[in-house]
Structures are given as C-alpha cells and as structure tokens.
Structure 1
Amino acid sequence: MGVPSVLPLPAAASDRAGGPSRRPWGHMLLWTALLVLAPAASAAGTPSPQGPPKAVVRLEPPWFNVLREDDVTLHCQGPHGPADGPTQWSRDGTPILAQVQPRFSFKASLSDSGDYRCQTGQTGLSDPVHLNVTSDWLLLQTPSLLLQEGDHLLLRCHSWQNRPLFKIQFLQDGVSRRYSPANSSFFVPHANVSHSGTYHCSGFIGRMKHESNPVNITVQGRRDDSSFPVTIVVAVVVVIAVVAAVAAVAAWVCLRQSQSAATLTQAEEAAKTEAENSITYSLLMHPEEDPGLSDYQNM
C-alpha cells in the first residue's frame, strides 16, 4: 500500500508565540494510524498475478467414480471456457502422448484409474482430478466427497452397463433416507452438516438384490467471507476513533500548557504594573522635603 505524502501544517499562532509545538504529536499519530491500517489494507488487496491461470479438468458425466465400461469424457478448460491449441494430458504424472485435443473420451477400464491433469500454451498446469474405476454390480456415485454447507448433494445409484434397477433405497449411516421403485437419484438442494455421513444404496437387478460399497461424504460449515470486509471497516473506524481521541487529548494538553504559560505571563505583567503604580503613588503621597523650603518657612 502506498503511503501518501503528508505536507506539514502551518504553525499556529500559539506556536509562533513560543508555545509548545503540536507537530510531533500530529506526525506520530499519523504514522501510528498508517502502520496499523497498512496490514488490513494489504490483506484486503488483490494479489498480483503470477504466471498464466491454471487450466481446469472437468469430468463428463461429473462422477469421479465410475464402473468398468462406463463412458467417460475429459475436458480441459481455461479460465473462461474451453482451452485453445494443443493440449498436454497426463495421468499420474505420465504424459498421454496420443491425446493433444482439449477433449477426449474413452470407455473406462480398471487401468484408467488415476489423477488426470492438463495444460495448454495459454494456461498453467491444472490441479489433479481423480478418476476411480471399479468393477461391481452397483455403485453409489457423487460428484464430490467434500461439500460446503448450502451446496447441492447429488447421489446416483448406478448399475453395471446401465441395467434396469428397481426398488432402489438410499441409506445414510445405515438409516434409510429415500426409497423409490425406479428413481435411481437422490438430490438435496441445500446440504448442511447433518448430511455428513456414510452412504450406500441398494436395488434389484432382475431378481437379485445388490448393494453398493459405502461412500463417506462430508459437509463443512460455510465460512462467511462477506464478514471479512465488514471486520476491516470496523477495525479502521475503531483505529481512527482512537487516534482522534488521542489527538484531542494531546491538543487539549498543549492548549492547557499554552494557556498556563499565557496566564503566568499576564500575572507577571500585572504584578509588575501594580508594583510600579504603588511606587508612583507612594512618591506622590510622601514627596521628599526640600531644604530650601524649610529655611524659608523658618525665616
């Protein structure tokens, strides 16, 4: 944060008359305020950009866990949309040389599990996105295992090769949360911390009942970022009020000292004047006798 230049204020009449100077107090209080407010302003500022923005890997469909032979599509996106130009893909740090397009699709196999990343000439290396491929009859799918309070909670009970699924049940920590004859989705529009837990689903494929493996989902309380600027403003107001109060006290002390000095000077002047008047009056009331006048009176 740039520190604004401060021009010295012209001296007051009392300063020019020899009274105590107020400049050191003003400068000290100003620098104290700047030092206190500088960390808050820098914390609220926008960080300077460092290099190109990161690319983003997006899964389609959005499930990070899929069954063998499911169709999976990976998208490499820039900050504002699909990436342009040749794309570098990697899985678990190993380049996928055969893929140079920002989008590619494949049928999932067990060997396709891993962390995928991408990068283009206009973007930096993306964060990893994990894809987990399993072999089972039934799988509970979700876009994310970690949610913030207020986010959507979406669960899907998925069968191998999309075989018809009936009598579907979703359970949280062993307690049934939803039952449907044929709807394989469970949706919560605004999740809260009570939706954290271990989920699994069950259903019938033909005449056989199957259950998925459990999935642990955590819903965290959302941090209210909007209160941060309010806190900064309140802190600034409090600091300004404190500085103003200290400045007022300092000015009052200086004023009292100036008034005391002026009062003392006036008292000295009054005493001196009174003394001179007393001497003059005494001389008028008791003049010294003239010797010549005495002799004349005697004669």
Structure 2
Amino acid sequence: MINVSVVTVLASLSVSSDRSQFFEYESVSLSCEVQGNSAGWRVMRNTSRGNLSECNTDWGKQQGSSCIMLLIPADSGVYWCESGSGEHSHAVNITVPVGAVILESPALPVTEGDSVTLRCRYQGTPSDLTAGFYKDGSLIRTETTGKITIPAVSKSDEGLYKCSNSKGESPESWMTVTIENMTNHMNSP
C-alpha cells in the first residue's frame, strides 16, 4: 500500500468589513489567516493598472500579518495572500470608485442558505436613498430603504451586482455562492 499525503494550504484573505467596494479615503485592514503559522505570508495585489506588488512597498502599512490601507481609486484591484514558497489564498477584488455611490456586498464567498444583505450607500447624507438593485445588468428590485436581503442565497444568486440611486450608480461586484461541504452529507446515514 502506498501512502500518499496531500498538503492543502488553508489560507484566506480577510477584509476588515467583508465588502468589496469602498469610498475614497476609507481605511481597510487586509489579513492573512492561515491554519497553523502565518509567518512568511504577505498581502499582495495587482491593481487595475497592472502593478503587482506587496504591502509595505509603495502602499499599505504592514502590522503583523495584516496590511492597513487608506484607500484611493488607484488601489482598485485584486488582493490575495502569498507565502514565501509561492502558495496562494483565494483572491478578493476591491473597488474604490471615483463616484460617491457604492454597493456593499460580501467580498468573500457566501455559503448556500446564508442570508445576505446588499446595501446601496451614498458618501454623504442621507445614506439610505431609494435604490434600484441590478443582477447581471437587469433590475431585480427597487427599495426605499436602500438595501435588499436575500434570506437564503442559492447558486442561482451568484452573479454581477450593482445599484443606483438619485446620486449615481455603483460599480459592479461579483458575488460568489459556494455549496456547503458535501463530505458532511456523504457521511450522514
């Protein structure tokens, strides 16, 4: 019998307020969460301008395994954690629009069955304006509260979301829906 061991790296990038869109000059903390030892892991990014670099070079301030940033539109891009040996976590898209409207949607994948709230926010007062919510370019609903809740997300809710209100339109953000770990179901009688 041949014993084959598979090493899986369980690293993830967490975003301080689990969303993918931020207003200009908002502060965010990105952290590498690694099972075991997080030493040697660093936060990396590839901006929309194609600049690949790590935290503490020309952006962000390294604090332990976290990277603290004061965001500007040039910070829009893809962020992930990387180890010294080249292992990667999943990637997170972060958008800092030039406009004053953002869609607050989860940056990290959501699990099927979870409740998810999407908020359309305006940088200024009032923040809760009547908003239209769009999925894959089509209007799904208009809400006077400026937010919608999907009580139990399913794989069919995965897609590109944006919102608009009287102050403008947010950029689009992709929401990923993952199916609960199937091994739990396979072991049940």
Q: Sort the TM-score into its range (normalised by shorter chain).
A: 0.5 to 0.7
CA deviation after TM superposition for structure 1 residue 143, in Å: 1.0
Give the number of the structure whose residues are more often strand, by fraction.
2
Per the alignment, residue 92 of structure 2 pairs with: 129
Determine helix, strand or coil for the equivalent of 1:111.
helix
Per the alignment, residue 55 of structure 2 pairs with: 96
Which structure has more RCO (C-alpha within 8 Å, separation ≥ 6)? Answer: 2
Per the alignment, residue 167 of structure 2 pairs with: 210
Matched, 1:73 2:38: no
| Alignment match of 1:225 (pick from 164, 182, 187) | 182
Structure 2: 5+ residue runs without aligned partners?
47-51
Determine helix, strand or coil for the equivalent of 2:74.
helix
Structure 1: 5+ residue runs without aligned partners?
4-46, 204-208, 234-299
Number of aligned positions between the proteins: 176
Query: CA–CA distance in 1 between the matches of 2:176 and 2:56?
Result: 38
Query: CA–CA distance in 1 between the matches of 2:108 and 2:56?
Result: 31
Identical counterparts, % of pairs:
19
Root mean square deviation, CA, Å = 3.9
Give the TM-score taking structure 2 as reference length: 0.67
CA distance 1:71–1:95, shift in 2 (3 Å): closer
Per the alignment, residue 141 of structure 2 pairs with: 176
CA deviation after TM superposition for structure 1 residue 104, in Å: 2.6
Matched, 1:201 2:173: no
CA distance 1:186–1:227, shift in 2 (3 Å): same
Q: Is the 8 A contact 1:200 1:211 kept in 2?
A: no
Q: Is the 8 A contact 2:43 2:82 kept in 1?
A: yes
Larger Rg, first or second structure (1 or 2): 1
Per the alignment, residue 28 of structure 1 pairs with: none
CA deviation after TM superposition for structure 1 residue 57, in Å: 1.0
